[in-house]
Amino acid sequence: MVRLIKSVAKAAGPKLLIGGALSAAAFLVSSYVDRGQDLRSAVPTAAAPKVASDNRPAERSRAEPLPVDPHALVVKSVLPITPPFRHGDYAWDESRAPAAGPVIVTVDLKAQTLSVFRSGHEIGAAVIIYGADDKPSPLGAFPVTQKDADHVSTLYDAPMPYMLRLTNDGVAIHGSDVKWGNATHGCIGVPTAFARKLFNVVKLGDLVIITNGKMLDLSRAERS
């Protein structure tokens, strides 16, 4: 896992910029692409996180990201996504990746995209919504500490389908109405159909790296 983290932080960046270019979260892999119809670098921990009482990863606040080498992820292949990649769009294709292997999720707030990698191969990408200025999404690396397919927010009394919790103070990835102009209270919102696929491949402890425009090294990535 340590080696994977080292081989993952390089992915903390470039994804598909909406309307065209590649930036840290959308990558290119040849094969069938399933397009949906509903459709700052890591900071050293400031305080010791709460230790979990079982085998779950320790809970962290949004101010306690994991320190991760930002040059570590090796991207082996990326998805062939044809721009424009708009709000509500997503792509999913696991054919290039092994059936099992370490999963890492990268989120680029500037590019407004999320990518999921298994063993260095991108298997999914989606346009996201994220925290507004008064409730921004945190930057850094956070392990998934809870999964709940039918979660309802106790703070906002709002459904958060296929929730993957990242912090103990309200930040998660979950299904949302991903439309231009929408925002969250700090969470990463993805199309609900994509959230279901992501929920099924992510395990507790898998790492989510959130950046704001950091570029990935795609020099080794296959795009055919």
pLDDT at position 207: 94
Residue 79 pLDDT level (bands cut at 50, 70, 90): very high
pLDDT at position 219: 62
pTM above 0.85, yes or no: no
**Mean local confidence (pLDDT), 62-80:** 82
Give residue-wise pLDDT tens across range 1-22: 434 444 444 443 434 343 333 3
The pLDDT of residue 25 is above 60: no
Give the per-residue SS3 of 16-77.
CCCCCCCCECCCECCCCCCCCCCCCCCCCCCCCCECCCCCCCCECCCCCCECCCCCCCCCCE
**Mean local confidence (pLDDT), 66-80:** 80
Q: Rounded to an integer, what distance in angstroms lies between the CA atom of residue 175 and that of residue 38?
A: 10
Q: Rounded to an integer, what distance in angstroms lies between the CA atom of residue 206 and that of residue 173?
A: 13
**Mean local confidence (pLDDT), 76-104:** 93
Give bridge partners of residue 146 from the DSSP assignment. Answer: 165
**Mean local confidence (pLDDT), 107-135:** 93
